Amino acid sequence: MQLLRLNALASHSELPKTAVTIGNFDGVHLGHQAMIKQLKAVAEAEQLKTVVMIFEPQPLEFFKGYEAPPRISSLREKVEYLSELGVDYIAVAKFDHHFRSLSAEAFADILKDKLNAAHLVLGDDFHFGKNRQGNSEFLRDYGFKVTNLHTIALDGERVSSTRIRQTLQAGDLALAAKLLGRPYSITGRVQYGDQIGRTIDFPTINVRLNRHKPCLQGIYGVEVVCETGSLSAKVQQENPEQPGIAGYDQGSLFGAGHVGTRPAIKQTHPEWRLEVHFPDVSANLYGLLMRVTFLNYLHGEKDYPSLEALKAGIDDDVEKLLEFRRKHPTLPF
């Protein structure tokens, strides 16, 4: 897979002839996976290379800023999932004032001149260009072959990024995993936080979210994998007497995850955090790239009247999540 910055591509493409699909691909869910499958079939039949064109930021993030819907996947995560599906190129279009102002014809020119598109695979409600003036019919008239893929449904309801956001916000991680085709996870580097957890004997890692706000909020049972090596081996190497609780994947650890804001600090746009406490672990994990997979929703955010009540609440949460791990020797979904 080759990652392309659309803005940096020459006006006249050096790419081979391509089959292109276009969208946000937030979550790279079952519907998106069906689109990629169709794209690859078209490309193979017509001896074309495959291109997935995505927008960064996502258009609603450009128009609405912090009020835009929460993100399912960061750009890094999208690229990872699309790469796993075997596409040849991922073209990232910077969605800004210039891009939003493109006419339908100017947009089509980009597909032809920069991406060397011969065939487009699009959703049946795809629109583009300023004021959404372009559609599949316009692209056919322009000269492209166009294949429209109909909606993919699960349990009689459309699979969409909106549905997945709502499912995650409701805490239904099992249904979210079905819609995504995999358990939901967030990938980010461990960064420095407030280190408040240490003062109450519940040290946490603070994982960078790489999105304006997440789809989750509350306390979760999580599995954490280090993307660059065995997390359990790293922890045991630093402190053999505190090896942590094994996760399900080899080298992973199980922990208590918290997704929420910093309520003590009043902000116009609250700062969201993903923190994970590993029971029975004492190790320096700063800078490591972690994938946090959400396996069990315990409860939403709670307000505690005192520090003692907070400590007791966290202790209870950890005990309940450890009980969940004991009751589930294999992945729950």
User: How does DSSP assign 121-180, residue by residue?
Assistant: EEETT-EESGGG-EEHHHHHHHT-EEEEEPPPEETTEE--HHHHHHHHHTT-HHHHHHHH
Question: What is residue 265's predicted lDDT score, i.e. its pLDDT?
Answer: 47
pLDDT single digits (tens) 117-135: 999 999 988 889 888 889 9
CATH 3.40.50.620 intervals, the chain = 2-158
Match 């997935």 to its residue by tokens.
52
Residue 262 pLDDT greater than 90, yes or no: no
CATH code linked to domain 2-158: 3.40.50.620
Confidence label for 200 from pLDDT (cuts 50, 70 and 90):
low
Residue 12 pLDDT greater than 90, yes or no: no
**Beta partners for 51?**
20, 89
Question: In this structure, are residues 236 and 298 in contact, taking their beta carbons and an 8 Å threshold?
Answer: no
**Beta partners for 261?**
272
pLDDT single digits (tens) 134-149: 999 999 999 999 999 9
| CA dihedral sign, ordered 223, 228, 229, 234 | negative
| High-pLDDT (> 70) share of the chain, % | 95
Cα–Cα distance between 289 and 285 in angstroms, integer? 9
Cα–Cα distance between 162 and 301 in angstroms, integer? 22
Alpha-carbon dihedral angle through residues 158, 164, 167, 171, given to the nearest 10 degrees: 160
Question: What is residue 198's predicted lDDT score, i.e. its pLDDT?
Answer: 56
Nearest C-alpha neighbor of 244 from the set 151, 325, 163: 325
Residue count of the chain? 333
> What angle, rounded to 10 degrees, do the helices at 161-169 and 173-180 form?
160
Q: What architecture is domain 183-327?
A: Beta Barrel (2.40)
Question: What is residue 199's predicted lDDT score, i.e. its pLDDT?
Answer: 56
CATH 2.40.30.30 intervals, the chain = 183-327
